[in-house]
Amino acid sequence: MSFALTILGSSGALPAYGRFPTSQYLTIQNRHFLIDCGEGAQMQLMKYQLPIHKINHIFISHLHGDHYLGLMGLLFSMHLQKRVNDLHLYAQKGLDEIILLQLKYSKSALSYTIRFHVFEPEQQAILFEDDAVTVTTIPLAHKLPCAGFLFREKDKLFKLDKQKLLPDMKLQHLALLKTGADVFDDSGNLLYRNSEFTLPPTPAYSYAYCSDTAWNEKIVDQLKHVNLLYHEATFMEEERDKAIETKHSTTLDAAHIALQANVGKLLIGHFSARYRELEPLLAEAQTKFANTALAIEGITFELPA
């Protein structure tokens, strides 16, 4: 699976009805990301047979406990299993102090190095970038400073049409064709026209994770046309007053954001413990945005769908 999201936890502040606090596992082109790490995240990783030691980047949206209290257990398990690779941890100021304090008083020295990357949640910033993926913060509106994360693939290479390749083509010619360029000789004469030897590249996909937030139209422009959007929907619309009080969203808030941003698919989660059954929340969101799904434990969403 080149681009796949597995839900580890879908509950709000309290675990309820078999639902765990927020955590998600995302793979993009053999890169493995953990997004938030609520209580029990490592148990869920084991339950769904996800490779813990391939996780090299963990993104924490904010410092409410239901989004990071599973982290220390996971970090210690990685140590006990002799991890050696660096682990990159992206969070706002404070989480580094929390972790280092626990290590100090347990007199623990991890077998690997944690690289802390502190970000300002109120600002859009690129947190991670390599040759295939960028990860950018999405400023949100919550009781504590909070940020979501936008994962976006870079444009991919053209595919070579093997049936049309010629025996005398050189490796450097093939490499140029894959970039979308035509190939010329030293005198500027056209050797190979790109369109004659390649197939269109696989589309680049995107995933936006909007953690805890009140209704916030400011994020719409950043979310325009993403393929997959997760947006919290803690309450149904009849509890709008509670959503406003706690700076959370309703199902219709999430649906309106998805509609305005013209996203491909909406996932809703972070459900209040007051709801045993989730189908009413899904049905309500679908009245405004039909292509909505519940982001519940164990489900994997792949792109392309």
> In terms of Cα–Cα distance, which of 297, 301, 293 is closest to 47?
297
* pLDDT band at 185; cut points 50, 70, 90: confident
Three-state helix/strand/coil letters over 221-262: HHHCCCCEEEEECCECHHHHHHHHHHCCCEHHHHHHHHHHHC
Is the pLDDT at 23 greater than 70, yes or no? yes
- pLDDT average, residue stretch 59-71: 97
Is the pLDDT at 170 greater than 90, yes or no? no
Radius of gyration over every alpha carbon of the chain, rounded to an integer in angstroms = 22
Q: Is 86 a residue of the active site? A: no
212 Ramachandran zone, left/alpha/beta (phi>0; psi -120 to 50): beta
More confident residue, 1 or 271: 271
301 vs 249: CA distance, rounded Å: 22
Class of domain 3-156+202-302 as given by CATH:
alpha beta
**pLDDT at res. 179:** 86
Lowest-pLDDT range of 12-16, 53-57, 189-193, 245-249: 189-193
The structural domains of the chain, with segments of one domain joined by +, span 3-156+202-302, 159-199
How many Å from the N-terminal Cα to the C-terminal Cα in the chain? 11
Is the pLDDT at 1 greater than 90, yes or no? no
- pLDDT average, residue stretch 125-139: 97
238 vs 31: CA distance, rounded Å: 40
Is the pLDDT at 165 greater than 90, yes or no? no
Q: Which of 66, 130, 131, 155 is catalytic?
A: 66
**pLDDT at res. 115:** 98
Is the pLDDT at 187 greater than 90, yes or no? no
The proportion of the chain whose per-residue pLDDT surpasses 90, expressed as a percent, equals 84
